[in-house]
Structure formats: structure tokens, C-alpha cells
Structure 1
């Protein structure tokens, strides 16, 4: 948040003083990132609140809600900037000084470094909002590259190439819209309870089947909630066992899965008789 705020102020000052709308557009993007960082921080904090009577599954969905709102805010800002860039096409203005190119180049290096840092953190934590923020840094780095190229064309092409500054701003907007729309789809998809990836499903299934007394796994549903997962598993046990014996097996399955898979927040175990026979047709 501090880096984005600093870059945003520097680029805004450079764009205004240097007469570069592309740099101003990039500055608005960074200043918007500072605001959205606050939203992400709040979402991650709220997601860690414990479960209560009204929210027995916890508040982890707040993380996905924060990510979707971040994406929407960035897209709205990009549309506004894009409209201003289109409106300015063909407008005659002074050639931006060479130091505006240095601002764009330094910003590109910083943003690319932040992208790799946050991408590593998101892979370790499985956090969607941090991943969204990481790709926003990559988008910013590419945007700064477009700004740098646009300024270079204006500097060395002369007054007849003034359109390159606004064109660079439009490229910035298109890059932002493409990346943030992908982030928005991912975050909203999480709110619809999609099944976890097949590799994790198979690992959980194998771990459950290795518990003594488990004859087979009939059903296994694993859904992501925030940076964690919830699992619903139907295990088949000997039909002649007592309820108490079956209950103990179910608890052993739950304990093993939660111990083995740190990302599992909770496991709901349902017992089925083995061999399992489907219910008769009506």
C-alpha cells in the first residue's frame, strides 16, 4: 500500500508537470491500488473471525468478496481513464521531458518485483485476493512499459507523434480490463462453491481410504472458502458394525484428514453401509 501510494504521487506529479496523460493514467491506477489494498486487508482480517450462530461456517467468504470488489473498482477506474484518453486523442500538447521516461522505467521495475513477491505469497497461502493483487502488479508493470514506449515515441518522433501518449494510456486501460475481468471471474466463482482441483481430491480420497475400517469412499466434495477448504465425505463401512463403532471410524477419518491437510478447515463425515446398494427405484 505504501509503495503504491508513493508511486502514484510521483507519477501524478510527473504526469501533470511533464504533460503526459499516459503517466497520469498510470498514476490513477497506482492510487487506486492503494485504496484497494485497504479493502483486501480488511477482507483478510474479517475472514479470520471465528464462527458464530449466524455464520456457523465462519466468515472466510469475506476474502472472495473483497477480491471481487477490488476487481470491480479497478475496472471502473480503467473505464474512466480510457474514456479520457480517447477524448484527448488528437489534442496538441507539449512534448513530455525525458525524466518522465525515467519515472515510467523505475515504476516498471518496482511493480514487476512486487508481482513476483506477492505471487509467491499467494501460492503459499492459497489466497485469491493476494493473487489478484499480484497480477495487478504485473498489469501495472506492463502498463508502465507501454507508457515508457509511448513517451519514447513522442520524444523521438516529434509533434506529429503526440498521439502515442494517449495510445499508451489506452493500452494501459485494455491491459487492466483484461486482467481484472479474469480476477473477477475467479473470485465470483469461489462464491458459487466449485469443486477443488482433482489432485487435492485424489489425495484426500487416498488418505480417507487408508484409515482402518473404511471400505470405500462413496462421495467426496471439497469446496474452497477463503484460503481454506471444507470437505463433505461419504465413507462406506461394514454394514454389521454398531453405530458406535462406525462413529469411531468416522472420527478417525476426520482427525486424519485435518491433521494431514493443513488447508482443510473442517470435514463432515457421513457413513454408508458396505457393500453399498443404491436405493430401490420407486
Structure 2
């Protein structure tokens, strides 16, 4: 569930600027982490750390996809797109989800393959302390990226940015798995070196679960799923707060990128002057935009009471 009242004072340009800022910061952070992880894995004899480094590179792909999606999605309405271009942002979330799922599959396959080799008698290499230290650094850095990104994403009501934040957290959990595996392989003896790839395989299942969650959310938006039930209650409450308005009904909602789309009917006394009807509709629209965001698309149809 997402809150829609957090974008009420943000323009499309503000959203793009904030998204670009956090995404560029994380892009440079991911580049540094990916390179350090791979080098650490090579020199620290940790296959799991190398895999974790490759996973960090997948974050770069999603960062680029996110920037493109937000830029395209912030384009104003035109004749062919009367509801704007917010679906581009939803589409970028879908790509992020697929990248997460593919990265999870890659980690799972590599981990299971190494575990199988160990059971067959292969002696896995023992990681060095540098891999342990790098895993701790990665966990701290990626969790910081997650918290920063998800905070901005919620403030500007960006599905794609929140999705990307979860990608950062999935990388943090991946590094946590590496930390456990490396520590076990280092301190429990040769027979337990399989903990490194085994833990990586288990963590990949969490990454896949996050990917499928984001995938489901993006697909729901593409299929015009309604806003949460709490939003319906809010719409009714707003309508009834305007004097004379009765029976808000036939309420239809959906989400286009960061924008809420709301269509509804209201009842008014049939003797109500046209100017008053227009004033009350405008009041409802202003209050709904205060709740769901200034960019919300609202359509109100008044009907006379018997």
C-alpha cells in the first residue's frame, strides 16, 4: 500500500530531480561496491563474494532503467496520452522485478552447483578475512542505500523508486548471506566450506520473493487494479465533508505511475444552482488532491436527488 497525500506539493520536475539525485548517488555507490566485491572475491578466495559483486552490478542496470522510466513518465499529457506517461514508470518497475528474479536464479544456481560439487568430494577454497570485512561493509552500505531510497520514494510516491530501494535491500541480504557463509567456511573447518554457497542459494530465494512481489505490484497497475480499500473510505469521507453532497457512489480508482485516477458520482439536491454545483465539485476535487496528490486525475459526475 502506498500513501498518496505525500506528493501534494511536488511537481513532476521536483519528482524527477529527487529521483535523479538519489539514483545517481546509489549508482556510484553500486559501481564502487561491485568492483570492490569482485576484487575481494578474487583475492579473498570467495566465490560467493564474486557472485555478490555481480549482483551489485545488476543494481546498475535497474538504476539506469529507473532514470529512463521516470524521465519518460514525467512527460506531460498529450493528445495520444491524455492520462500522461506514468505507465513508463510502472514499466520500469516491471523490468526491475525481472532483473531481481534473474539475479536470484543466477545466485541460486551457482550456490547449488558449488554445494553439489562439495558433496561429490570437491574441496572448496577457504575464504580470507578480507572477504569477511567486505561483507560487513557491503551490508552497511546497501542498507543505508535502501533506507535513503525508500524514504525518498515514499515521499514522492514513486513505485519505481521504492522498487529500486528493495533491490538495494536484497543486495544487503545477499551480503548478509555471504557474511554467514564466509564466517562458517573460515571458522568451522573444511567440511563446512559449503556454507558459503549454500547460504548464497538460500538468500537468493528471498531476493526472488521480493522480485515477484514487485512484479505483482507492477502487473496490478498495468491491469488497472483499484487503489487500496482505505482509499475508497477516504474518498467517501472527503465527499461527505462538503455540505449538501450525498451518496458518493460508482467510485472507480486506479493508478497511473505516481498519479491516482479517481472517477465518482455524487448526489445533490435538484434545486441546487449550477454555479453551486460547480463550486462543490471543485471543493471535492481540491480536497481529494490534498489527500492523493496534486497530480491526481479526478472526474466527478453530479446527479440530482429525487
- For residues 116-166 of structure 1, the C-alpha deviation after alignment (integer angstroms, 9 at most, x for no partner) is 222222221221112112222222222211111111111112222221121
Matches within 5 A, 1:230-245: 230-241=261-272
User: Is the CA contact (8 Å cut-off) linking 1:19 and 1:93 kept in structure 2?
Assistant: no
Match of residue 108 from structure 2: 82
- For residues 248-275 of structure 1, the C-alpha deviation after alignment (integer angstroms, 9 at most, x for no partner) is 5434433443356435522111122214
1:41 equivalenced with 2:72 (yes/no): no
User: Is the CA contact (8 Å cut-off) linking 1:12 and 1:28 kept in structure 2?
Assistant: yes
Residue 94 of structure 1, CA deviation: 2.7
Residue of structure 1 aligned with 2:46, choices 20, 25, 36: 20
Residue of structure 1 aligned with 2:230, choices 199, 219, 230: 199
Matches within 5 A, 1:194-233: 194-233=225-264
Seen in structure 2, the aligned counterparts of structure 1 residues 74 and 245 have a Cα distance that, compared at 3 Å, is same
Seen in structure 2, the aligned counterparts of structure 1 residues 99 and 216 have a Cα distance that, compared at 3 Å, is same
Report the TM-score, using the length of structure 1 for normalisation: 0.89
Residue 17 of structure 1, CA deviation: 2.1
Looking at structure 2, the residues matched to 126 and 139 of structure 1 have their Cα atoms a distance apart, in angstroms, of: 21
User: Is the CA contact (8 Å cut-off) linking 1:21 and 1:169 kept in structure 2?
Assistant: no
Looking at structure 2, the residues matched to 34 and 258 of structure 1 have their Cα atoms a distance apart, in angstroms, of: 35
1:63 equivalenced with 2:89 (yes/no): yes
Seen in structure 2, the aligned counterparts of structure 1 residues 94 and 216 have a Cα distance that, compared at 3 Å, is closer
Residue 181 of structure 1, CA deviation: 1.1
Residue 92 of structure 1, CA deviation: 2.3
Helix, strand or coil at the partner of 1:223: strand
User: Is the CA contact (8 Å cut-off) linking 2:83 and 2:256 kept in structure 1?
Assistant: no
User: Is the CA contact (8 Å cut-off) linking 2:44 and 2:131 kept in structure 1?
Assistant: yes
Helix, strand or coil at the partner of 1:181: helix
Match of residue 11 from structure 2: none
1:169 equivalenced with 2:200 (yes/no): yes
1:270 equivalenced with 2:301 (yes/no): yes
Residue 100 of structure 1, CA deviation: 0.7
1:2 equivalenced with 2:33 (yes/no): no
1:137 equivalenced with 2:137 (yes/no): no
Match of residue 117 from structure 1: 148
Looking at structure 1, the residues matched to 286 and 77 of structure 2 have their Cα atoms a distance apart, in angstroms, of: 20
Looking at structure 2, the residues matched to 186 and 194 of structure 1 have their Cα atoms a distance apart, in angstroms, of: 9
Higher relative contact order (CA 8 A, sep 6+): 2
Which structure 1 segments of 5+ residues have no match?
Answer: 276-282
Which structure 2 segments of 5+ residues have no match?
Answer: 1-26
Q: How many residues align?
A: 275
Q: How large is the RMSD of aligned CA atoms in angstroms?
A: 2.0
Looking at structure 2, the residues matched to 259 and 147 of structure 1 have their Cα atoms a distance apart, in angstroms, of: 45
Looking at structure 1, the residues matched to 286 and 182 of structure 2 have their Cα atoms a distance apart, in angstroms, of: 60
* Range with bigger deviation, 160-169 or 101-110: 160-169
Match of residue 279 from structure 1: none
Helix, strand or coil at the partner of 1:207: helix
Helix, strand or coil at the partner of 2:81: coil
Match of residue 32 from structure 1: 58
